[in-house]
């Protein structure tokens, strides 16, 4: 079974702090994604990566950066956390670039910025 893990289920940070969210997958997938999920807005893509050291902006990249130094690990970084970044963050991985491949999700990190 594909397993996608995220470093924390719940996280509370203060405004202005630098926040790291880690995601690890164990199936050698090329593609990895970071989403945020907010009530009434659904899942929105922040960044994705199709290979090591490669990244593409999604729909809402402002205030975020990412890092992919190893194939299995994709990190989301909030350079200076703000209260409007309070949200559920979900990581996902997928074998290929096509939308016909199944996407596997991590359990999510609920981040609260105070």
Partner 1 sequence: KNEVEQSPQNLTAQEGEFITINCSYSVGISALHWLQQHPGGGIVSLFMLSSGKKKHGRLIATINIQEKHSSLHITASHPRDSAVYICAVPPRGGSQGNLIFGKGTKLSVKP
Residue 38 CB, nearest approach to partner 1 (Å) = 10
Given the complex with partner 1, which of 17 and 59 has the nearer CB atom? 59
Segment 9-28, which members bind partner 1 (CB under 8 A)? 9
Q: Quick count: other Cβ atoms within 10 Å of Cβ 104?
A: 18
Q: 75 near 21, Cβ under 8 Å?
A: yes
Q: 45 near 29, Cβ under 8 Å?
A: no
Where does this chain bind partner 1 (CB under 8 A)? 9, 33, 40-43, 45, 48, 58, 88, 90, 92, 97-100, 102-108, 110
């Amino acid at each position: 079974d594909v397993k996608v893990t995220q470093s924390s289920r719940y996280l509370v940070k203060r405004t202005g702090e630098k926040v790291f969210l880690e995601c690890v997958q164990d199936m050698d997938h090329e593609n990895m994604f970071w989403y945020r999920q907010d009530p009434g807005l659904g899942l929105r893509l922040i960044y994705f990566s199709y290979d090591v050291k490669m990244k593409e902006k999604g729909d809402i990249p402002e205030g975020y950066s990412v890092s992919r130094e190893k194939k299995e690990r994709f990190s989301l970084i909030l350079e200076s956390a703000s209260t409007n970044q309070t949200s559920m963050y979900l990581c996902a991985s997928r074998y290929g670039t096509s939308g016909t491949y199944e996407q596997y999700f991590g359990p999510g990190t609920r981040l609260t910025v105070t």
